[in-house]
Structure 1
Amino acid sequence: MSRVLTWIVNRFRHNIQVRLTCYFLLILLPLVLVSLFANERSQEILVEQATERSRLALDSAMDYIDLTLQSAEELSTLISTDADMVTLLERNGKELTPEAIVDFAQLMKQLSNLNSINNIATQISVYHHSSNMLLSNYYGGRKLAGLPEQDFMTRTAQSNGTGILYMLPSEIVDGQVTLGKLVVSDSVTLIRSMDLYNPDRQPNVLLISLNKTKLLNLIKPLLPSDNTRIFLTNSDGDMIVGVGKNGETKDIVVPFEPDMLSVTTHSQSSKWKLTMMQPESELYRDTEQVARYTYGIIGISILLALWISWVIYSGIASPLQKLSHGIKRFGSGKLNIQLENKRKDEFGYLTDSFNKMAQQQKHLIEDHYEQNLRLARTELKFLQSQINPHFLYNTLDSIYWTAKNYEADEISEMVLNLSKFFRLSLNKGRDVFPIGESISHLHFYIRIQQIRFLENFEVEYQIDERTRDVPILKLLLQPLVENAILHGMDGKEDGGRLIIETRIEGELLLLIVRDNGSGIKEERLHYIQGELERLNARNYKLYSLEEDQIEDLFGLRNVITRVKLYYGKEGSLFIESTEGEGTRTTLKLPLNKCKDVFLQSEQTEDEMEAGA
């Protein structure tokens, strides 16, 4: 996320077209926000009005359902307190005698008469506990002995008291369907005890089944659209009936749908609930056209803003950007840059001025910079030529000491290595060699020193194979190796060890010379490190021999000066030492400049051959 934000900020800062576009879009922002707010607010108002209308309609239907339920409850009270019915039930026992059959027939006739005065009641039944008979005006008498419903009737009469219980035919209690075989399927059953006012009453039960179809007919006219549904649930949230335009739904619970507008009203007497669910898309249908117009206007406005910003950019900012790109290309070294210009206004004058300036600058660079570059190359040649007499002096000194201690064979080997060393050093004026060849060259010098010091040290080469073909300036390692031998191995009779290592770390080439000699004293080490730090921090410019008149550290100063001139500020030289343990010298060169130095050297050789 931070990268994306940084990219946007950079584009805004460096691109005029992006800024122009952002400014035009910023002008449109209030219009867009007001339009979106107005559209959103209109939808909210529409939902509020639809909700209020639906609630009023549901309240009216709920009142009618309450009246229907109250009528059924009054009918249940009338039956359960009827003295004749209670007497008929109490005077009959377990046996189904002829007298009992007559009494039960009379009871069912009375139930049929009472059912006729309430058109919503489909079935009225009375359960006689003593004989386990269910007496119904719908299918007559039925014995429940041995059926699960018998236990349900007994428990209901004992636990319900004088209260009223509403149940569905498919409702399950204790893992058993309670009313499935006792009442009609399309019904809601009211259940209460008989002989309400007698505390010593028998567990006889009254069942009044209400017609669900008639309940559906009460709420179906409330449906405002084809996809709207209304659900009637009891106080426990169980579905009593659900209805849509196509009739009763198959839902067993009120579904939860996030894109539906839900309106619920509660009955104050029965605690039943009516819930209407209508798709929000149907409510927004009238505002969708206005919303489309709003979005269309916003889209057209944004397109106009982009088009206007592009027109302004093409007329004003584009010439500036072209000029900016030309300046960048000129700054990168493309001196022949000339911008196309067909304009006659201020931008045309500015472009012509740039083209003239570029031509003048090119001439200045050709006349002065190249002259300074040749001077720098001459100075480098002089610096590099100084190192050959220096090595010649030390090598002759080595031959002198060897002649005093050994026979002519060793002197002969030293002279042979010396000749090979100088032959490769001259090598037709080449300044750059691959590391592999430079190490072979270096070994001739080391062999001379090994003979001089009576083989009191051995040398180990740790050359990374990736570095063997990397080109470097010649005679970079010799001064470092010379210091390690003359100052590190001096006075060491045996066990000396010299390690030459090359490796690549990231974008840098590391040339390392280590020894296990006597090391450098702390005061002297601080002085050397301070001088190297000063030389490493010098600016990337032409160096003059007259800048440093100090006579010591000649080899190190020569190496760091050549490195800075050829490899720039990325090249550096460091030295570390512990007295009594040894010294480590590290030369760091940028890999990308190694190739540039090689190409520059090849070009110089070609120029020299052409001049010859």
Structure 2
Amino acid sequence: MRPPGSRVFLPFGVKLFISYLVLIIVPIFLFGYIANTILVNSYRAQMNSNLAGTLKQIRDNIAYKMEDTQRLSDLLYYDESMPLELMRYEEGWVSYQTTKKLLIPKFRQVTDSSNLRIWMSIYLKNGTLPEIYNADPQGTDPLTRGNHWDLYHLNRIENKPWFNAFPPEEYGKTVVWRQVEDDSMFGRISLLRRLVDTRDPMELETIGFIRISVYLSEILQSVDAGKIGSGSMLSVSGEGGRRMYASGESGLLLASELGSKAAIDPDRYTILEETLPELGWKLAAYVPNSVVAQDTRKVNLLTLVICLLSVGLISIVAFGVSRFFSRRVSKVVSVLQRFQQGDFHKRIHYRGNDEFTIIAGSLNKLGEQTEHLIQEVYVTNLKKKEAELETLQAQINPHFLYNTLSSISRLAKFGQVEKQHQMVMNLAKFYRLSLNEGQTVISIYHEIEQVQAYIDIQQVKYGERMEVHFDVDPQIVKYMTVKLILQPFIENALQHAWRGDRIYIRVVGRMDDGSGSIVFRIIDDGSGMTRERVEELSGSGSAMSGLGAGKQRKGYGIRNVNDRIKLYFGSDYGVSLYSRQGIGTCVTIRIPVQRRSRGEIRESTRNRIGRTG
């Protein structure tokens, strides 16, 4: 049998709640699975339908642009006045007038009417009309010059294979889209069409030839794989499966270039095709099955979220029901846990008359009795700590007085009566400031006054051998501090830090914005201390108070000030030392920013002493 301590704690309310959850989750997720399967199948069918519709729309957009280009050729093909003029084989003025008044305006009208960039080449059978064209350097694309036209004689192309292979004329129907000449090199495609004499539809005579070249990318601009999803590809294939244009994933483009669908894994892609009727080309869409799977995952996620929300809402109801039954047990456990943490103020209030009422009464009585015992111990410790604090405060004055009287005694011994008198008067001033109506908490301003009074006493003794400089921020003098926290360290420097016959002491006071405290530093250029001695004086607890008989007097002032600051303001504040032998010592004193009255600080100190006791 396992010991009770090794078992996992599971409250009564949790057990009840878990049983409700099991009854809720199973049917909800079963229903969600069935609904999700139906939604996914429906989504796949809808997606295929949308893709087919998109492909058809792309095909229609391509057909529209091609028809728009063909309508430009219709402006010349169905112009009844043009055959009359082109059949006049008269040179000179007649030829000039025909070209200037009819042909040039007509050709400009055609090129200006185009929404695409076009290069229209007109080949005329009538050799009496002049050729008008731009002599583009070899290897350049004439279409880069924008919409323009060129006029040539038909004999320039009569021996071209593509011209000789042009199908017989059917009135209004014979239009061919093909890449001829350098179209393939520059990514163009050309609309090819005869100009015929339409006056006799039964015997159509060729009077010229039209070639309108456009960029394949503009005709196929709507072939954009982004319309069918990321990772997809749209491909336009010409005769023999040669790829004419493609848009989409680079890996698919390469596979399409290498051959056809055989190079593309059919298990990874769904392939849909449409025929471009004017060109006889194939428009194919390759949609990754992963894209479809990604979208179906969204449906799965939506179904899961709905199931989870349903579980969550019903779980709230189940939680309320289970909590109703377990609430009384939870109250008892809560009070016991608070007692365990040391808080005996917690009480239970039950309505009714049952076993829980008896338990509540017993726990309330136990809490009252325990709290009463703690209060008795607290008051006893509070009085003890206050007595210790007052003793420390009282000890600092005899310590200073002892040192000062020793100095007065030495002055009397050497017969320096005037200095002896001045030191006694300064001592009286110091104690007048120190008494401060019996208050132990004073303003920093008065603390500086006390230090200055002490320096005046020592100035009588040391004269120009001692120099003290104050660098105190005027903004901090309005705040409160425990009195006599600076003087013991100046006294300690004058007693033990001499190196030669002169000493310099600097007193710095600043507001530390980072920690929200006030920092004093007493810096001297004296003999300094060894690292072992600094560690001995800077130790906490027993280390600071456990000095040997010979060293205890030297460390007394540090220990006294440190203890008083910690008793008043807490363990975050106090004294720290830094010293280098032969260089000097820096004493750092840190106190909080206090603007409260002395009574409030005293009450705060009482509370702190009570907690530490």
Post-superposition shift, 1:374? 0.3
Post-superposition shift, 1:381? 1.4
Secondary structure of the structure 1 residue equivalent to 2:501: coil
What is the letter of the counterpart of residue 557 of structure 1?
A: R
Secondary structure of the structure 2 residue equivalent to 1:599: helix
What is the letter of the counterpart of residue 588 of structure 1?
A: R
Measured in 1, the distance between the counterparts of 2:573 and 2:497 equals 25
What's the CA shift string for 1:254-307, capped at 9, x where partnerless?
A: 57774799953247995424689xxxxxxxxxxxx9999998776544422333
Aligned pair 1:511/2:517, yes or no? no
Post-superposition shift, 1:330? 11
Q: Do 1:515 and 1:583's aligned partners in 2 also have CA atoms closer than 8 Å?
A: yes
Q: Percent identity?
A: 23
Aligned pair 1:50/2:49, yes or no? yes
Q: 1:367 aligns with which of 354, 373, 376?
A: 376
What's the TM-score once normalised by structure 2's chain length?
0.55
Aligned pair 1:481/2:490, yes or no? yes
Please give the residue correspondences for 1:150-549 in structure 2 after superposition, counting only pairs within 5 Å: 150-151=151-152, 157=158, 159=160, 161=162, 162-164=164-166, 166-167=176-177, 236=216, 239=219, 253=222, 258=227, 263-266=272-275, 271-273=280-282, 299-313=309-323, 316=326, 320=330, 337-342=346-351, 352=361, 355-404=364-413, 407-489=416-498, 492-494=500-502, 496-505=503-512, 506-520=515-529, 522=530, 525-535=531-541
What is the letter of the counterpart of residue 501 of structure 2?
A: E
Q: Do 1:472 and 1:598's aligned partners in 2 also have CA atoms closer than 8 Å?
A: no
Q: Do 1:401 and 1:452's aligned partners in 2 also have CA atoms closer than 8 Å?
A: no
What's the CA shift string for 1:67-124, capped at 9, x where partnerless?
A: xxxxxxxxxxxxxxxxxxxxxxxxxx99579xxxxxxxxxxxxxxxxxxxxxxxxxxx
Q: 1:584 aligns with which of 560, 583, 586?
A: 586
Measured in 1, the distance between the counterparts of 2:437 and 2:336 equals 42
Measured in 2, the distance between the counterparts of 1:435 and 1:378 equals 25
Secondary structure of the structure 2 residue equivalent to 1:526: helix
Post-superposition shift, 1:38? 2.4
Please give the residue correspondences for 1:105-116 in structure 2 after superposition, counting only pairs within 5 Å: none
Measured in 2, the distance between the counterparts of 1:591 and 1:413 equals 36
Post-superposition shift, 1:499? 1.3
Measured in 2, the distance between the counterparts of 1:95 and 1:585 equals 118
Post-superposition shift, 1:526? 0.8
Distance of aligned partners of 1:482 and 1:435 in 2 relative to their CA distance in 1, 3 Å threshold = same
Q: Do 2:126 and 2:153's aligned partners in 1 also have CA atoms closer than 8 Å?
A: no
Distance of aligned partners of 1:392 and 1:269 in 2 relative to their CA distance in 1, 3 Å threshold = closer
What's the CA shift string for 1:438-497, capped at 9, x where partnerless?
A: 1111221121112111231121222233432332222222221211111124x6434x22
Secondary structure of the structure 2 residue equivalent to 1:511: strand
Please give the residue correspondences for 1:87-98 in structure 2 after superposition, counting only pairs within 5 Å: 95=89
What is the letter of the counterpart of residue 501 of structure 1?
A: V
Distance of aligned partners of 1:43 and 1:564 in 2 relative to their CA distance in 1, 3 Å threshold = same
What is the letter of the counterpart of residue 526 of structure 1?
A: E
What is the letter of the counterpart of residue 512 of structure 1?
A: R
Q: Do 2:411 and 2:417's aligned partners in 1 also have CA atoms closer than 8 Å?
A: no
Aligned pair 1:38/2:37, yes or no? yes
- Farther off after superposition, 433-442 or 313-322: 313-322
Post-superposition shift, 1:24? 5.8
Tell me the matched-pair count: 440
Measured in 1, the distance between the counterparts of 2:54 and 2:603 equals 94
What's the CA shift string for 1:186-215, capped at 9, x where partnerless?
A: xxxxxxxx9xxxxxxxx9877899xxxxxx
What's the TM-score once normalised by structure 1's chain length?
0.56
Measured in 1, the distance between the counterparts of 2:34 and 2:324 equals 31
Measured in 1, the distance between the counterparts of 2:546 and 2:311 equals 71
Q: Do 2:427 and 2:454's aligned partners in 1 also have CA atoms closer than 8 Å?
A: yes
Aligned pair 1:601/2:609, yes or no? no
Post-superposition shift, 1:46? 0.8
Where do 5+ consecutive residues of structure 2 fail to align? 1-12, 64-86, 92-121, 134-148, 167-174, 197-204, 235-271, 286-298, 607-613
2:556 counterpart residue number: 554
Secondary structure of the structure 1 residue equivalent to 2:511: strand
Measured in 1, the distance between the counterparts of 2:300 and 2:508 equals 79
Measured in 2, the distance between the counterparts of 1:344 and 1:258 equals 74
Secondary structure of the structure 2 residue equivalent to 1:569: coil
Secondary structure of the structure 2 residue equivalent to 1:308: helix
Post-superposition shift, 1:569? 2.6
Q: Do 1:24 and 1:309's aligned partners in 2 also have CA atoms closer than 8 Å?
A: no
RMSD: 5.7
Measured in 2, the distance between the counterparts of 1:160 and 1:428 equals 123
Q: Do 1:55 and 1:265's aligned partners in 2 also have CA atoms closer than 8 Å?
A: no
Post-superposition shift, 1:350? 6.4
Measured in 2, the distance between the counterparts of 1:598 and 1:265 equals 94
Distance of aligned partners of 1:268 and 1:129 in 2 relative to their CA distance in 1, 3 Å threshold = closer
Please give the residue correspondences for 1:112-123 in structure 2 after superposition, counting only pairs within 5 Å: none
Measured in 2, the distance between the counterparts of 1:500 and 1:158 equals 109
